[in-house]
Amino acid sequence: MAKLGMTLRGVRELLGGGEIRGDEEFYCISVASLEKADPDCLSFVKNERNVEQARRSHAGALLTATPIEGFAGHQMIVEEPQEAFGRVLSQIAAGREAPSGVDPRAVIDPEAHVAAGAAIGPGAVLAKGASVGERVRIGANVYIGEGSSIGDDSVLYPNAVVLADVQVGKRVVIRSGSVIGADGYGYIQRDGRSVGVPQVGTVEISDDVEIGALTTIDRATVDATVIGARTKIGDMVHVGHNCQVGEDVLLLPTCLVSGSVKIGDKAILAGHAGTSDNLEIGAGAAIGGASVAFKDVAPGQTVWGVPAREKGLEMRIQAALKYLPEMLRDWRAAKSKG
């Protein structure tokens, strides 16, 4: 279980409020789900469907929106228990794998800039002209290429790679194994052979973006691949060269976004969704899980399937498919009768 080490009073101070019903000095050693919680754990009640489970839980303390009669432990009443629990988890995460100062095993070019409050882990490499802002945390074996900049309060987990001339904004999170700024997949045919076109553009990551593990975001051919502010990208996502991703976009794990795709603000690509290249996905649009869009998606539209169609139409098509064997049998019977 993840260690917390905080009293309920401390949790209330962290959250900026909350009504404690019980002992405010109760010490929460760790956090856990309702199912797995021990008497020294803090857990939370997501919604009314979990109330009965909460009553049976062995948790020592709960974050809950309404008091739960019959629960033997301590309770803290907050407006949004899940959001509050998330803030507690953020507090735990902030203390994990956090380097302190500049490790002597890091390799930092004399012409790189590291702010006084930044922390650099062992084996990290900062190339010529790289810049790291205040309170940035660079994990072990991270590579930051020539001329790239990392904005204040950002976190790069171990083995993340930011290649040359990439701009990363403030409060950005890049998780382990991700590569930002690799060459885009650019080839032309010459005499029956594929010949690479150099990709000399950049990648611009705006403020408050989060990027999951093993994700790749390719640099543009000549301009910039752009990820808008507050966009959240899951694990093993690929964003191709020249893409323009808007603000507050959700790219769930294993999405595949082909080159030169424009994605509007607050659009959603569900898990394993994909696109062909040069499309426009409108603001607020959604592409369902494992679906592939081969044409533009209008703002606010939800599409599903392969090829992706308007969701209602695709659902009707899927419902009709179960009748296809019977229809085929009847058609063959009618055809045989001439």
- Our CA angle for 254, 257, 259, nearest 5°, is 145
CA distance 152 to 261: 29
Q: Which of 306, 310, 305 is nearest to 282 (CA)?
A: 310
Please provide the distance, in angstroms rounded to a whole number, between the alpha carbons at the two ends of the chain.
72
- Say whether 241 is catalytic: yes
Q: Which residues contact 318 (CB under 8 A, 6 or more apart)?
A: 305
CA-nearest of 234, 100, 213 to 158 is 213
Cβ proximity of 212 and 194 under 8 Å:
no
Q: For residue 164, give the nearest of 219, 99, 208 by alpha carbon.
A: 219
Given 58, 238, 241, 272, which residue is catalytic? 241
DSSP code per residue over 187-250: EEEETTEEEEPP---EEEE-TT-EE-TT-EEEPPSSSEEEE-TT-EE-TT-EE-TT-EE-TT-E
> Looking at the annotation, which residues are catalytic?
241
